[in-house]
Amino acid sequence: MARSLPHGEARKGKGDPMKRAALLTTLLLVLGMALLASSPVQAQVTTLRFLWFTDGPDKPAIEGLVKRFNDTNPDIKIEFSIVPFAELNQLLVTQASAGQAPDLARVNEPYRFFQYTLDLRPYLKNKNFAKDFLDEPMRMVTGERGELYGIPHDLTMNGPLVNVSLFKKAGVDLPKDRATWEDWMTAAAKVKKATGVPFAAAVDRSGHRLDGFLQSYGGGYFTRDGKDVRVTSAETRKAIEAFVGFHKDGTMPLDIWAGGTGYVGANQQFVNGQLVYYLSGNWQVAQFTDGIGNKFEWKAVPNGYETQAGGMPGGKFLIAFKNAKAPDKVARLVEFLGGADAMTEYAVKAMFLPTRKDLVRQGVKYPTRNDDMNVFIKGVGELPQSAYVDNYNLHFGQVGNEVRDRVTQVITGELTVDKALELAQTKAKELLKQ
Residues that bind other proteins (CB under 8 A): 89-90, 93, 111-115, 198, 254-255, 258-262, 264, 394, 398, 401-402, 405, 408-409, 411-414, 423, 430-431, 433-434
Cβ closest to other proteins, residue 271 vs residue 337: 271
Q: Smallest distance from the beta carbon of 428 to other proteins, in angstroms?
A: 10
Bridge partners (DSSP) listed for residue 151:
318
Cβ closest to other proteins, residue 112 vs residue 349: 112
Q: Smallest distance from the beta carbon of 90 to other proteins, in angstroms?
A: 5
Q: Smallest distance from the beta carbon of 109 to other proteins, in angstroms?
A: 8
Q: Smallest distance from the beta carbon of 403 to other proteins, in angstroms?
A: 12
Q: Smallest distance from the beta carbon of 99 to other proteins, in angstroms?
A: 16
Read off the amino acid at residue 390.
D
Cβ closest to other proteins, residue 194 vs residue 264: 264
Nearest by Cα to 259 from 160, 88, 399, 404: 404
Between the two ends of the chain, the Cα-to-Cα distance in Å is 81
Cβ closest to other proteins, residue 272 vs residue 308: 272
Read off the amino acid at residue 120.
L
Cβ closest to other proteins, residue 38 vs residue 261: 261
Cβ closest to other proteins, residue 73 vs residue 323: 323
Q: Smallest distance from the beta carbon of 348 to other proteins, in angstroms?
A: 34
Q: Smallest distance from the beta carbon of 414 to other proteins, in angstroms?
A: 5
Cβ closest to other proteins, residue 81 vs residue 94: 94
Q: Smallest distance from the beta carbon of 278 to other proteins, in angstroms?
A: 16
Cβ closest to other proteins, residue 49 vs residue 247: 247
Q: Smallest distance from the beta carbon of 149 to other proteins, in angstroms?
A: 12
Can you give the chain as a three-state secondary structure string?
CCCCCHHHHHCCCCCCHHHHHHHHHHHHHHHHHHHHHCCHHHHHCEEEEEEECCCCCHHHHHHHHHHHHHHHCCCEEEEEEECCHHHHHHHHHHHHHCCCCCCEEEECCHHHHHHHECCCHHHCCCCCHHHHECHHHHHCCECCCCCECEEEEEEEEEEEEEEHHHHHHHCCCCCCCCCCHHHHHHHHHHHHHHHCCCEEEEECECHHHHHHHHHCCCCCCECCCCCCECCCCHHHHHHHHHHHHHHHCCCCCHHHHCCCCCCECCHHHHHCCCEEEEEEECCHHHHHHHHHCCCCCEEECCCCECCCECCCEEEEEEEEECCCCCHHHHHHHHHHHCCHHHHHHHHHHHCCECCEHHHHHHCCCCCCCHHHHHHHHHHHHHCCHHHHHHHCCCCHHHHHHHHHHHHHHHHCCCCCHHHHHHHHHHHHHHHHCC
Q: Smallest distance from the beta carbon of 147 to other proteins, in angstroms?
A: 13
Question: CA-to-CA distance for 195 and 171, rounded, in angstroms?
Answer: 10
Question: Is residue 243 within 8 Å of 159, Cβ to Cβ?
Answer: no
Cβ closest to other proteins, residue 286 vs residue 420: 420
Question: Is residue 317 within 8 Å of 153, Cβ to Cβ?
Answer: yes
Q: Smallest distance from the beta carbon of 148 to other proteins, in angstroms?
A: 16
Cβ closest to other proteins, residue 166 vs residue 373: 166
